[in-house]
Amino acid sequence: MNSDESTYRKSVWGPWAVVAAGGLLFLVGAGRFVHRQHFGFSDALYCCLAIVPAGLLLLVFDYVVHHAKLVSVIPLFAAGVLVLSFPVFDVALGLAMVGIIAGPALRDWKEERRPRKT
């Protein structure tokens, strides 16, 4: 067994895990809106606007994980409190997580299919 191959196999599951967690958060948030039996234009606007703070939270969490692993509990706790308190944040965090992976993946897929000019 080659060590490069085992590292590659481990890294392939990372994006799928993030997409699965993001999809689960989105579905949980949508389910909470269905359970509440109210989803209006203002809720949709709040979900769209909350994508920016959710993305910033993910950015801060990534930075903290890379530089101070022990302190990463603080943004993780803040994300947990926000997810449990607001269904808008569930939806926004889920969409942000899926968008973080889907954006570069779609760009790579699009560039791969396009013939290259020489």
Say how many C-beta atoms besides its own lie within 10 A of residue 115's C-beta. 5
pTM above 0.75, yes or no: yes
Is the separation of the CB atoms in 93 and 79 below 8 Å? yes
Q: Which among 27, 11, 41, 45 has a CA at the least distance from the CA of 90?
A: 27
Average pLDDT (4-31) is 80
Q: What is the pLDDT of residue 106?
A: 81
Least reliable range by pLDDT among 5-19, 67-81, 84-98? 5-19
For 49-88, write each residue's pLDDT tens digit.
Answer: 999 999 999 999 999 999 988 888 998 999 999 999 999 9
Q: Which among 97, 101, 98, 105 has a CA at the least distance from the CA of 79?
A: 97
For 37-49, write each residue's pLDDT tens digit.
Answer: 888 898 899 999 9
The CA distance from 98 to 117, in Å, is 31
